[in-house]
Amino acid sequence: MLGMALIAFEGCGLHCPGERDVLNVEAKLPDGIPAVLDWRVVASNVDRTHETMAILTANEVAVKSVGTGAYSDGSELALVTWLERDDPHWFGARIPGSFVGLETVTVSRNADGKLATIYKRYAGEPLHEATNTTNSDARKAEILGMGYSEMP
C-alpha cells in the first residue's frame, strides 16, 4: 500500500498541471470589457479566411428578436472575436487564441420616437473604443442579420 502511495506521489512530482495546461489563458479578455459575456450566447462564427472565431451574445430584450432582423428598443448585441489557434490537447482542433475585438450594436429610440441602431467597436489592452469604423454600417447589418446557431 505504501508503494502505491509513493508511486502516485512521485508521479505528480514529475509534472503537475499548471494554469496553462488546464486553462486557455491566451484567450483572456482585456480588462474593462463590459458584462456582455453574461448575456445569452445566440450564435457563433468561424472565419477560415481570417482565422478567427467569434460568439454573438444578446441581452434578454434582443434574444426574442434574434434572426428576425426587427429588434425592439433596448436590444443589445455583442460580437466577441478571437484569433484561432491549434488546441495543444486535441489534434486538429482549433480554439480561441488572442482577443481581436468586441463589436456592439444597441437599438434605442431617438427623440423623434424612431428606432436607431448604434454600432461601436472596441479593441486593445486596456480595452478602448476604436475610432476607425469605416465599414460600421456593413458590420452593423451583419451583426443584426446573424441568426441563432443550431445546436445538436
Domains held by the chain: number:
1
Residue ranges making up the domain that contains 73:
25-145
pLDDT 10s digits, 77-102: 999 999 998 888 888 888 888 999 99
Is residue 137 assigned to a domain? yes
Tally of CA atoms within 13 A in the half-sphere of 69 that contains its CB:
3
Q: Report the distance separating Cα 122 and Cα 102, nearest Å.
A: 5
Rounded to two decimals, the pTM is: 0.80
Is residue 77 assigned to a domain? yes
Helix or strand (DSSP H, E) at 19: helix 19-22
Q: What residue type is 127 in one-letter code?
A: L
DSSP state of 145: H
Is residue 128 assigned to a domain? yes
Residue 50 near residue 114, CB atoms below 8 Å = no
pLDDT 10s digits, 95-147: 888 999 999 999 998 888 889 899 999 988 888 888 776 788 899 989 988 88
Is residue 46 assigned to a domain? yes
Is residue 39 assigned to a domain? yes
Is residue 72 assigned to a domain? yes
Residue 102 near residue 79, CB atoms below 8 Å = yes
Is residue 2 assigned to a domain? no
Give the Cβ contact number of residue 149 at 10 Å.
Answer: 13
In the block, cell 495546461 appears at 21
Is residue 32 assigned to a domain? yes
Cis amide bond preceding 126, omega within 30:
yes
